[in-house]
Structure 1
Amino acid sequence: MTQPFKDAIGICKTIMRNGFDAYVVNAQLQRELLEGADETELDIACEAPFDEIQRMFPNVTAGSERGVVALLKEADITYRFYPTDVEDASHPEESIARITPHLLKRMEEKFGSIPTQYACPYVPGSEMYEGFEDIASGVVKFAGIPDDTLRRNYLLGIRALRFAANYDLPIDNNTWIAIVKATSRILDYVPSHSIMEEWRKVEAENMWRFVELLFDSMILHGLMPELAALSRCTHIKNEDTGEEQSVFEHTIETMRHYPEELPYDWFGTFAVLCSNIGKLYTAEYSDETWTFNQFCRVGAKVTRKIMNRLSFLPQDIDLVCHLVKHHQFFHSMLTDKGIRRFRSLDEYPRLIEMARADVKARGIAFTAFNHNMKWLERADTPEQMIEPFLNGNEIMEATNLKPGPHVGILRDELLKAQIEGKVTTVEEAIAFVREYKM
């Protein structure tokens, strides 16, 4: 081993002792390029940023060439420091830099041609739009050769879907097919927490589109197979018309409507996404119709399993599972007792909006919803603070009843009728007790 390479290895060891990875780029190729060269120049790949390199080697200067982090000249040797790949989501073969722009230039000078595999050297970067063409062009497109760009960081596949959803842009055809072809590798190499970091950057009102793209690219089938399977499960969208729809399509449509009232509620929108998962496990076909008994309770349990798998925080899991478990509560036409019980639930405003979004997605009447909203206002008044329009003496006078327990029963029934809104005046109260007596 020549002295320049020994010195380069010594530099790498110094960097590694300070806690950063470093190595000589493609040592064999550099040896061939150095044979007969007038200048000795070596390229090093290193994890450390410029300020850290400068602390270790005070004589370094900032690099001015493409991709060069720092430049060090000692005696007659020039060392160029390039950033190494630190992406968790890159293909294993892309994790080691085998060529740099400087080596590419030296190869062209010495050999007169450039091997195809080295035609487009990759220099790692950390910018959000690294690996993409300018988004201002109106299309989401990988820079360079889409398949090669994606191999360097498979997280770019998820990021492309995020850009398309958030900016309402189409995805370039070659970029799209590169993502579809790499679906299994995206799931293999991208950590679940990294996928969720991208997902959390999707606006709530655009999440339906992001999930739709995950489904179309087949990524959702590996990430949340329980959800993707809902595309093969049908239910009645509207009982009045008998129209059928896949549960997955209904879920997407409901997600579109939920942020109309709560536009920044990411977790509420995610709860809508998971709200119908229980139908996959509770579906039964009988008398030419599908039933999904207990699907909310079952769905909450399955949602907990999914969110644990996707590395959600415990408190976020509890929130979403609570919403999934109770999201059907507000759909039925509730009594006063039912409304008061609903009102006692945590996060009941979100549950109301989940019900509203479901009604919109189904295209059905708001009869039960409006009824519950009206009664919800009455729930603000405690039952013990409501007095009946008629006391015991007035009830006996109106009905000609004699004193006894039946007068107290009639008074309680009148109070219930008032709470439910069936009786709103003294005249209606007199008519109610007279009719109830008969």
Structure 2
Amino acid sequence: MNLKDALEEPLFQEIGKVGDQLAQKTFVIGGFVRDHILQRPGKKDIDIVTEGSGIELARKVAQRLPNQPKVSVFKRFGTAMFRYQGVDWEFVGARKESYSEDSRNPAVENGSIQDDQLRRDFTINALAISLNQETYGEFVDPFEGLQDLESKMIRTPLDPDITFSDDPLRMMRAIRFAAQLGFDINHTEFAAIQDKSDRLKIVSKERIMDEFNKILMTDKPSVGLIMLDQAKLLEKFLPELVALKGIEEIEGQRHKDNFYHTFEVVDNISKNTDNLWLRWAALLHDIGKAPTKKFHKKIGWTFHSHEFVGSKMVPKLFRRLKLPMGQEMKYVKKLVMLSSRPIALVSETATDAALRRLLFDAGDDLEDLFILCKADITTKNNKKQKRFTENFILVEQKIKEVEDRDHVRNFQPPISGEDIMQAFDIKPCPAVGKIKNQIKEAILEGDLHNNREDAYKYMIALGEKMGMTQTNSNKISK
């Protein structure tokens, strides 16, 4: 089989020519070949493997190119790469690998193309095309990876017990590729993942999260999430989520399975957003239900304050998983905290004050909050689903009216602490914060218009009630 049609990029020929000059067999390998056969969009990184020095090959190829791109060398790994026309080209010498029990970093020695293909994670990623002039375009597939592509199967070149024990991250990668490509994992490989799941402990949280986030960003994340659970991997890094699993029944009263409900919510939200952290908010929106679940004879199952408890769990979870602790974590925490608030507003009796407070608390994330709330509608009853959706649309309209009138989104107090101190000639003290907070509360309750003039008068009245005297006659700074 010849795949010259995959090698339209002229740089492939240049690489092959340099390989011939160095007397090194040279191949393009891995994801580029796989995706060409699957007719998936072209990759932004291409792997070149050669029987010899990958670093020397990269340098000599770069010298032949216009503007001679800078070659980055990673001697420890025997690799080199350069960026050319928006694509990262990585070069490595063919190698054999051997592993120790407590590390996924292998001992490496030079090897042949077959050795290199044998060390690859899956047969579909071990496909290669020759770039040398005599064999240009020749397809190299010693492990029947093409057959696995056609049958949509994830399989390992080596015994899967060895593959997953040597590099346990490959267990995450197997599920990630299956979820991304719509493939199945061969039953022998899946059994090996279940058997070796404890080995995931030697993999850094950063690498686990890199694979997990790719699963979460697939078109239907529940496919990969369910596989992670069945493979006994999810419990190793997200026990808070697994704790939601199961339905309890007491005195004939049952609650829904919040574990699988969560997966439905993530699937729903993924139809409407590519925002990774909004998908994380969907994933974690109910994690507070496991620690707050209680049964009461009169009212049945309750999960009181699960949003508050869940939001408090988010920082610890993000820290443990080495996820970003900045705005991303705060965003997820906020959405988990607010995830049930709009539901309480789905009634004719919802007050403008309640709407203003939601606007104040959600700020610029209000639209994302409503995307999450709509995704949380997982009832299979079409009439209920239609009614819930229409109710949320009604609340959105109400909030828009309140926002247009009262301007409380991303609320900034019309009166500052400096204003209060100047007006009453006082230094920083608890009274300043108390007055500021009462002004904010009055505006949110609708007792005070959100403008400086009314707020200033209200401040003076509050100060006088507290026994303070106005000393600054310049009441309002225009």
TM superposition score normalised by structure 1: 0.58
Point out the more displaced range, 361-370 or 314-323: 361-370
Q: Among residues 244, 248, 260, which one is paired with 2:259 in the alignment?
A: 248
Q: Does 1:381 align with 2:401?
A: yes
Structure 1 counterpart of 2:323, one-letter code: F
CA contact (8 A) 1:69 1:83 kept: no
Asked if the contact 1:235–1:245 (Cα under 8 Å) also holds between the matched residues in 2, the reply is no
Paired residues, number:
300
State the AA in 2 paired with 1:357.
A
| Superposition pairs of residues 378-417 of structure 1, within 5 angstroms | 378-382=398-402
Change (3 A) 1:90 1:373: farther
* Larger-gyration structure (1/2): 1
Cα distance, 1:158 vs structure 2: 0.6
Which residue number corresponds to residue 429 of structure 2?
A: none
Match of 1:342 in 2: 358
Q: CA deviation at 1:148?
A: 2.2
Matched, 1:309 2:329: no
Match of 1:394 in 2: none
Q: Does 1:137 align with 2:147?
A: no
Correspondences of 1:420-435 after superposition (within 5 Å): none
The 5 Å alignment of 1:341-360 reads 341-344=357-360, 345-346=362-363, 347-360=365-378
2:192 is matched with which residue?
178
* Conservation of the 8 A alpha-carbon contact between 1:251 and 1:276: yes
Partner of 1:160: 174
The match for 1:6 is none
Shift in Å, 1:376:
2.6
2:235 maps to a residue whose letter is H
C-alpha separation in 2, matches of 1:69 and 1:381 = 59
The one of 266, 276, 285 equivalent to 1:266 is: 276
Q: Choose the corresponding residue for 1:197, options 189, 210, 226.
A: 210
User: Whole-Å Cα distance in 2 between the matches of residues 192 and 232 of structure 1?
Assistant: 27
Given that 1:87 and 1:153 are in contact with CA atoms closer than 8 Å, whether structure 2 keeps it comes out as: no
CA displacement 1:362-389 (0-9 Å, x = unmatched): 6444545523422432433358969xxx
Residue 90 and residue 257 in structure 1: after superposition, are their counterparts in 2 closer, same or farther (change >3 A)? farther
Indicate the SS of the match to 1:311: coil
**C-alpha distance in structure 2 between counterparts of 1:220 and 1:229, whole Å:** 11
Counterpart-to-counterpart distance in 1, 2:236 and 2:152: 30
CA distance in 1, matches of 2:404, 2:171: 59
Other structure's SS at 1:290 match: strand
Q: TM-score w.r.t. structure 2 length? A: 0.53
Alignment match, 1:331: 343
Give the residue type in structure 1 aligned to 2:228.
L
SS at match of 1:377: helix
Task: Report the secondary structure of 2:356's partner residue.
Answer: helix
Partner of 2:131: none
Find the aligned partners of 2:342 and 2:195 in 1 and give their Cα distance: 43
Runs of 4+ off more than 3 Å: 44-54, 81-94, 97-102, 120-137, 232-236, 241-244, 361-369, 381-386
Read off the aligned partner of 2:270 and give its amino acid letter.
P
Query: Which digits, 9 at most, give the CA deviation of each residue in 1:295-331, with x for residues without a partner?
Result: 0011011122111111111221111111111111111
Give yes or no for contact 2:161–2:192 (8 Å, CA) kept in 1: yes
Cα shift readout 1:174-215 (whole Å, capped 9, x = no counterpart): 111111111011x22221111111122232532222211111
In structure 2, the partner of 1:148 is 162
- Cα 1:306–1:365 change in 2 (3 A) is same
Summarize deviations over 1:96-120 as a string: whole Å, max 9, x none: 2478459x9xxxxxxxxxxxxxxx7
SS at match of 1:218: coil
Q: Distance in 2 between matches of 1:189 and 1:181?
A: 15
Question: Residues 252 and 88 of structure 1: is their aligned pair in 2 closer, same or farther, counting only changes over 3 Å?
Answer: farther
Q: More deviation in 147-156 or 244-253?
A: 147-156
User: Which residue among 206, 223, 229 is the counterpart of 2:220?
Assistant: 206
Q: Which residue of 2 aligns with 1:57?
A: none
Partner Cα separation in structure 1 for residue 343 and residue 162 of structure 2: 50
Query: Which amino acid is the alignment partner of residue 261 of structure 2?
Result: H
The code of the aligned residue for 2:185 comes to I
Mark the runs of 5 or more structure 1 residues left unpaired by the alignment.
Answer: 1-43, 55-67, 71-80, 105-119, 387-415, 417-438
| Distance across 2 between alignment mates of 1:267 and 1:192 | 17
CA deviation vs aligned residue, 1:247-288 (integer Å, no higher than 9, x gap): 11211122222223x142322122111111101111111116
Q: Which runs of 5 or more structure 2 residues have no equivalent in the other structure?
A: 1-50, 62-77, 81-91, 128-144, 407-445, 447-478
Q: Which amino acid aligns with 2:303?
A: F
Partner of 1:294: 305
Answer whether contact 1:235 1:247 (CA < 8 A) is retained. Answer: no
Whether the 8 Å contact between 2:124 and 2:154 is mirrored in structure 1 is no
Provide, for residues 72-122 of structure 1, a one-character-per-residue CA deviation record: whole Å limited to 9, x for no partner.
Answer: xxxxxxxxx9566899999648722478459x9xxxxxxxxxxxxxxx787
Equivalent position of 1:217 in the other structure: 231
Question: Could you tell me which amino acid in structure 1 is paired with residue 279 of structure 2?
Answer: T
1:374-416 CA-partner distances (Å, limit 9, x unpaired): 2432433358969xxxxxxxxxxxxxxxxxxxxxxxxxxxxx9
RMSD: 4.2
Aligned 1:89-100 pairs, distance under 5 A: 92=103, 95-97=106-108, 100=111
Please state if 1:257 is matched with 2:257.
no
User: Aligned to 2:287, what secondary structure does the other structure show?
Assistant: coil
Q: Which residue of the partner structure matches residue 420 of structure 1?
A: none
2:260 alignment partner AA: E
Structure 1 residues 158 and 126, CA gap change in structure 2 (3 angstroms):
closer
3-state SS of 2:376 partner: helix
